[in-house]
Structure 1
């Protein structure tokens, strides 16, 4: 419940802000190009609060459904327009003007992402060093000779600052399907070059990293119970937050991942955890729950959030901070990289190379919003930048009812010298609505599956 007390307000602030910025792009350009604006609304449906501009006569609304917004412009297709106002109607404008008005929404979202990343780089981007854990046998990292504790300094001469850099770069290179050269520094301080063959690897990010066998290095540290999930096996065994887990069935564990792996390997079984509580060692029997992973295989479930003493991770932390000028090109580059990667992954979803389970809806976005807000300002601002890019890219898809669909129609009209027939436009709108409804249904379905674990 406490998680949602943070997630819901963070979600409302995030979506409200990004939608307001998107719609303001349409609003600002429309007014600059002489189109009469009737209403600027954040949200859909019934008006909850609002006012009317004294001089402009524009209605400013906050509406009941906070999952979008709109700018209503004077348009002869939506009602009668006085003869004196017809030159200011949207439908009377040259196609290039309509294209500019429609493109302004996604454009402002990209601009917001640049500004947000600029702020993040100036505040300082916290992360963990790109050091890797031991790669399992049969994985590409193991075959390449990568070892536990290796820090990946660069990929194809591109500097890698933290694990997020490493992850995004490998996803991008994985889509290219080529071998990459890694500059690696071992735990002994010695530098060496390693070739990692990415030909034929899965395009899906999760499957990619399973195939590579790459995971963050975990320094030896006793795992502990950070939180117990109500109704779980951990609660039934009376485990408590703060308990240090020393061993499972008499075999010691020295990292959170080691504990997780041991739990997953014993679905539905009764195990004995050796824990330390208040400085005293105890033996606690636990009957693990059983669940299925994405491959449909049974895995054990304890029902607890596993953590570790923060001091053990101190040496793994890193911060990238730039000055105001240096942060500008870095922010532009970051926005471009995230945008390009988003487009490529969406294209691979269409071809079936990337699972549609990667599509997230408002529930998952709210969850991420709450998590990043609880971490700190830089994490939350970075989250806003990422969602802003996603919103821009989604709206530019050539689907009628989205900005990209309108851009397609107006571009065709400009080239042909006349608009498409009304029947064609209506059919396109109907297909666009169906496609959008299917996408929203899929997003909610994925969110519910994640909630159910």
Structure 2
């Protein structure tokens, strides 16, 4: 229940901030163009709070916090007194109408840059793109534990998240990736990951794992926390032992111990468990016994426990001074915009799964998670959401700002506005497209909850 309330609260806060800036963009430019604004509302439905300024604009906070709007004087919607026709939106030039409509998405773009600037000045804690373990394709490509990824296909990366995104992009495009790393000897080396060899229909969410690459922050040391009484390990292993190998198989993390013990049990007979104890490396003989796992299924066990997995400590911080943070914020905005537009293109061309379309449930969960991680992460979330709101609103879909801009561009070309009939037809098409998109987003959200 706590997670649910937190998710709802932080989603309301996020939408409140983003929608207010978006609508303020429309409002500010409309007033500069001489348009009378009747209402500036954050939220829909019955107003909970309202205040009127000297210009006659009602500023309201409404009961349904899932958006907002700016209502302007317009002869197509309300009867306009002859003395106020010059202040009506529909009486403004096409270029003024374009400026007013485009101001909302532009406000979100500016907000994105400002939020990223604040994030970089504060310092965003993150995980470095350091490799903790390699198997399979990554190991065959020459990548090793301790390598730090510097770039993927000439695109510089500073964090594991950026590196994962770059690898996922290359995988969706069915392209091999040029991975530049700094190895343990501080030498720059370039490796080629044959991502084009991934099987069709691979899960795009787990590309690093599919190629056998595990980031260092995900590798939990196999440090024995407890030895169960009466188990095979009793009298052999001790709390504080660091497991290094099982039956000759190297162990880099706690998650590798169970599969190695299972293989040893299936082989039959005793095996050697190598551990580090008080700075000394020991090889100890041990024979697994059959038992049952947490689901009641038979398995091979030795009877040791590791510390419960906890959130690992951040190992890098992206931080700049107030002036250096400006170009850094612009670069990050460009990177995020390129990733978002690229994902949209791949979804349209079927290179990316429709599961990448997320809805309000996922957004609420991520809002809560980033808020819990700290101000730096929440600023990052707001920036990404603000940029997404900018891009989505610029899509040439009727009802959205981009659809209105399309109408005005057509008006510029043909020299006269579209007919009301054509615009009404476009509105219906836009409603159908948005309904389909929202249905897909809700479906993916619910599917994600079921699969958790």
Q: Which range, TM-score by smaller chain? A: 0.7 to 0.9
TM-superposed deviation, 1:9: 1.5
Change (3 A) 1:178 1:254: closer
Change (3 A) 1:187 1:383: same
Change (3 A) 1:56 1:260: farther
Q: Corresponding residue for 1:98?
A: 97
* Separation (CA, whole Å) in 1 of partners of 2:329 and 2:402: 25
Q: Corresponding residue for 1:298?
A: none
Query: In the alignment, which of 177, 182, 194 is matched to residue 179 of structure 2?
Result: 182
* Separation (CA, whole Å) in 2 of partners of 1:107 and 1:260: 53
* Separation (CA, whole Å) in 2 of partners of 1:289 and 1:358: 35
TM-superposed deviation, 1:167: 2.3
- Secondary structure, in 3 states, of the residue corresponding to 1:64? strand
Q: Corresponding residue for 2:15?
A: 15
Structure 1 gap ranges (5+): 226-243, 266-282, 291-305
- Secondary structure, in 3 states, of the residue corresponding to 1:154? strand
Deviations 1:45-97 (A, max 9, x none): 222221222x1111111112211110000011112111111111111111111
- Secondary structure, in 3 states, of the residue corresponding to 1:319? strand
- Secondary structure, in 3 states, of the residue corresponding to 2:43? strand
Asked whether the 8 Å contact 1:37–1:58 carries over to 2, the reply is yes
Deviations 1:5-40 (A, max 9, x none): 322221111111100110100010000110110000
* Separation (CA, whole Å) in 2 of partners of 1:165 and 1:382: 13
Structure 2 gap ranges (5+): 226-239, 264-289, 298-306
Backbone CA RMSD of aligned residues: 3.3
* Separation (CA, whole Å) in 2 of partners of 1:223 and 1:57: 69
Query: In the alignment, which of 403, 423, 436 is matched to residue 401 of structure 2?
Result: 403
- Secondary structure, in 3 states, of the residue corresponding to 1:78? coil
Q: Corresponding residue for 2:159?
A: 162
* Separation (CA, whole Å) in 2 of partners of 1:391 and 1:223: 46
TM-superposed deviation, 1:307: 5.0
Q: Corresponding residue for 1:387?
A: 385
2:110 matches 1:114: no
TM-score (norm 2): 0.78
Change (3 A) 1:106 1:307: farther
Asked whether the 8 Å contact 2:172–2:204 carries over to 1, the reply is no
Asked whether the 8 Å contact 2:172–2:352 carries over to 1, the reply is no
* Separation (CA, whole Å) in 2 of partners of 1:337 and 1:450: 27
* Separation (CA, whole Å) in 2 of partners of 1:80 and 1:257: 70
Query: In the alignment, which of 415, 420, 427 is matched to residue 413 of structure 2?
Result: 415
* Separation (CA, whole Å) in 2 of partners of 1:198 and 1:162: 20
Change (3 A) 1:260 1:114: farther
TM-score (norm 1): 0.78
* Separation (CA, whole Å) in 1 of partners of 2:383 and 2:427: 30
Asked whether the 8 Å contact 1:152–1:185 carries over to 2, the reply is yes
Q: Corresponding residue for 1:40?
A: 40
Query: In the alignment, which of 292, 295, 319 is matched to residue 288 of structure 1?
Result: 295
Largest Rg, 1 or 2: 2
Asked whether the 8 Å contact 2:22–2:104 carries over to 1, the reply is yes
TM-superposed deviation, 1:362: 1.2
Alignment of 1:139-150 (within 5 A): 139=137, 141-150=138-147
Alignment of 1:274-313 (within 5 A): 286-288=293-295, 308=309, 313=312
Change (3 A) 1:348 1:87: same
Asked whether the 8 Å contact 2:173–2:351 carries over to 1, the reply is no
Query: In the alignment, which of 336, 343, 346 is matched to residue 344 of structure 2?
Result: 346
* Separation (CA, whole Å) in 2 of partners of 1:384 and 1:289: 44
Q: Corresponding residue for 1:192?
A: 189
Deviations 1:128-165 (A, max 9, x none): 1212243442x3x2342212332212335544221122
* Separation (CA, whole Å) in 1 of partners of 2:16 and 2:194: 44
Q: Corresponding residue for 1:62?
A: 61
How many residues of Structure 1 are paired with residues of Structure 2 in the alignment? 395
